[in-house]
């Protein structure tokens, strides 16, 4: 059976600044990665050198047949010292936005994707006095370069950020399944909600802009008898962040896997097929996430799939995963859910927050020469995008 997607559907690929640009030296994570005894096994270093090679990356996106690119602006570059905005960095990101327009690509621009300037963390981060207004000031400084951009994501995965904050406070290490993490630090969650609202207020002055945030959807599923535990588990880690979006211009859905909750918490799917991140291979996650999101925020808020993909060394598995995920997405759309586009994570094999091993890319990158090599999955995905058919 052929599945057809609507005309004007956004077909894209996504990245984030810290994961692809390289040498994000003013950021908080650069300091963490380069500490004498770092808590992460590998550093981002030069990453994919996309800070310099972005025109080549945009050419790849266009030549594959995609019509959209999601990337993030790095706060630590734009404001490396408090209150001092770099005009040269603003011009850099404006060139990227115009580079998208010139190639007929719709830019989807994220203003905050996990990293903050080192000075912001040192000053106490989101919950410090003035933390939220610092972010508002940063967003205000970006307004002149966002002219003509339709899709703006304020903060990427605030729920992950708040959960990671809670773990760092408790001195715990990163669990390999996001949804199995301890509940978020509620003060950080509240500050991020405030920061999102502040950003939306600033962006409201831009004609034609749609602003929203992107939430990590974890497909919580109840094991027999654990319906109530699952609802509680999901509320703090996911639903409170979705509910905030009920008046937004769109909501970004990001889904990779599922988490089954039993009476004693998350159940380890030991026997399940796993991906390189250790997550269960579960491409049905996307359909579940889209349906859950639409139930929470209401059908009036359009959905953009801002991330979905798989870490695998077997590129045929990427096609299998993505085909199944898109089939599920089409089913949800056929039931009336308003989905405007699909942005695959990720364009490039990039720095996966501490490690280079989990490869999510449609395109591989030689870490010494930075040569980009298109994988067969990218060609397959480009064909789906060109034809609008699966
Ligand atoms: C993040 C990405 C990350 C991806 C795969 C999302 O949590 O937004 O930065 O690379 O998932 O782990």
The full 3-state SS of the chain, as one line of letters, equals CCCECCCCCEEEEECCHHHHCCCCCCEHHHHHHCCCCCCCCCCCCCCCCHHHHHHHHHHHHHHHCCCEEEEECCHHHHCCECCECCHHHHHHHHHHHHHHHHCCCEEEEECCCCCCEHHHHHCCHHHCCCHHHHHHHHHHHHHHHCCCCCEEEEEECHHHHHHHHHHHHCCCCCCCCHHHCCCCCHHHHHHHHHHHHHHHHHHCCCCCCEEEEEEEECCEEECCCCHHHHHHHHHHHHHHHHHHHHHCCCEEEEECCCEEEECCEECCCCCCCECCCCCECCCCHHHHHHHHHHHHHCCCCCEEEEEECCCCCCHHHHHHHHHHHHHHHHHHHHCCCCEEEEEEECCECCCCCCCCCCCCCCEEECCCCCCEEECHHHHHHHHHHHHCEC
The domain of 240 spans 10-387
Of the listed ranges 52-66, 108-122, 158-172, 291-305, the one predicted with least confidence: 158-172
pLDDT over 90 at 271, yes or no: no
Q: Is residue 274 part of a domain?
A: yes
pTM for the whole thing?
Answer: 0.98
Average pLDDT over residues 96-108: 99
Q: Is residue 210 part of a domain?
A: yes
pLDDT band of 175, cuts 50, 70, 90: low
> What integer pLDDT is reported at residue 174 of this predicted model?
61
Q: Is residue 5 part of a domain?
A: no
Q: What is the whole-number distance in angstroms between the Cα of residue 153 and the centre of ligand 1? A: 15
138 lines ligand 1 (CB under 6 A): no
> What integer pLDDT is reported at residue 178 of this predicted model?
67
Question: In a mutational test of the pocket of ligand 1, which residue from 24, 70, 157 has the highest number of ligand atoms less than 8 Å from its CB?
Answer: 157
Average pLDDT over residues 136-157: 98
Atom of ligand 1 nearest to the CA of 352: 10
Q: What is the whole-number distance in angstroms between the Cα of residue 306 and the centre of ligand 1? A: 10
Q: Is residue 185 part of a domain?
A: yes
Average pLDDT over residues 342-352: 98
pLDDT over 70 at 93, yes or no: yes
Which CATH number does the domain housing residue 369 bear?
3.20.20.80
The answer to whether 317 is a known catalytic residue is no
Which residue is closest in CA terms to ligand 1's atom 10?
Answer: 352
pLDDT over 90 at 185, yes or no: yes
Q: Is residue 283 part of a domain?
A: yes
Q: Is residue 36 part of a domain?
A: yes
pLDDT over 80 at 65, yes or no: yes
> What integer pLDDT is reported at residue 179 of this predicted model?
73
pLDDT over 90 at 307, yes or no: yes
pLDDT band of 169, cuts 50, 70, 90: confident
Q: Is residue 286 part of a domain?
A: yes
Please state the domain count of the chain: 1
Q: What is the whole-number distance in angstroms between the Cα of residue 316 and the centre of ligand 1? A: 21
Which residue is closest in CA terms to ligand 1's atom 9?
Answer: 16
pLDDT digits (tens, 9 = 90+) for 6-32: 999 999 999 999 999 999 999 999 999
Which residue is closest in CA terms to ligand 1's atom 5?
Answer: 352
185 lines ligand 1 (CB under 6 A): no
């Amino acid at each position: 059976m052929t599945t057809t997607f609507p005309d004007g559907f956004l077909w894209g690929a996504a990245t984030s600044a810290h994961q692809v640009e390289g040498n994000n030296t003013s950021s908080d994570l650069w300091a963490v990665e380069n500490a004498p005894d770092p808590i992460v096994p590998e550093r981002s270093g030069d990453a994919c050198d996309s800070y310099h090679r972005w025109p080549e990356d945009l050419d790849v996106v266009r030549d594959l047949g995609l019509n959209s690119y999601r990337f993030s602006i790095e706060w630590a570059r734009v404001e490396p010292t408090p209150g001092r905005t770099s005009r040269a960095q603003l011009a850099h990101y404006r060139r990227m936005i115009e580079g998208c327009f010139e190639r007929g690509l719709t830019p989807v621009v994220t203003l905050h994707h996990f990293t903050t300037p080192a000075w912001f963390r040192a000053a106490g981060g989101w919950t410090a006095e003035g933390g939220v207004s610092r972010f508002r000031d940063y967003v205000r400084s970006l307004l002149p370069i966002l002219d003509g951009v339709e899709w703006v994501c304020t903060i990427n995965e605030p729920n992950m950020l708040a959960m990671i904050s809670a773990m760092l406070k408790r001195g715990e290490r990163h669990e390999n399944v996001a949804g199995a993490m301890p509940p978020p630090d509620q003060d950080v969650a509240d500050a991020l909600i405030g920061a999102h609202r502040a950003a939306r207020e600033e962006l409201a002055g831009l004609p034609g802009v749609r602003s929203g945030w992107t939430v990590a959807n974890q497909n919580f599923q109840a094991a027999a008898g654990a319906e109530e535990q699952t609802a509680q588990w999901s509320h703090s880690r996911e639903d409170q962040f979705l509910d905030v979006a009920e008046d937004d211009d769109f909501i970004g859905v990001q889904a990779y896997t599922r988490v089954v909750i039993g009476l004693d918490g998350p159940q380890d799917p030991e026997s399940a097929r796993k991906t390189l991140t250790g997550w269960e291979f579960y491409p049905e996650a996307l359909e579940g996430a889209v349906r859950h999101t639409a139930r929470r925020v209401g059908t009036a808020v359009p959905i953009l799939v801002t991330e979905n993909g798989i870490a695998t060394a077997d590129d045929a598995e990427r096609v299998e995963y993505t085909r199944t995920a898109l089939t599920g997405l089409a089913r949800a759309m056929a039931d009336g859910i308003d989905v405007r586009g699909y942005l695959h994570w990720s364009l490039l094999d990039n720095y996966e927050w501490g490690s280079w091993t989990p490869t999510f890319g449609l395109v591989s990158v030689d870490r010494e020469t930075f040569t980009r090599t298109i994988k067969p999955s990218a060609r397959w995905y480009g064909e789906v995008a060109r034809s609008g058919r699966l």
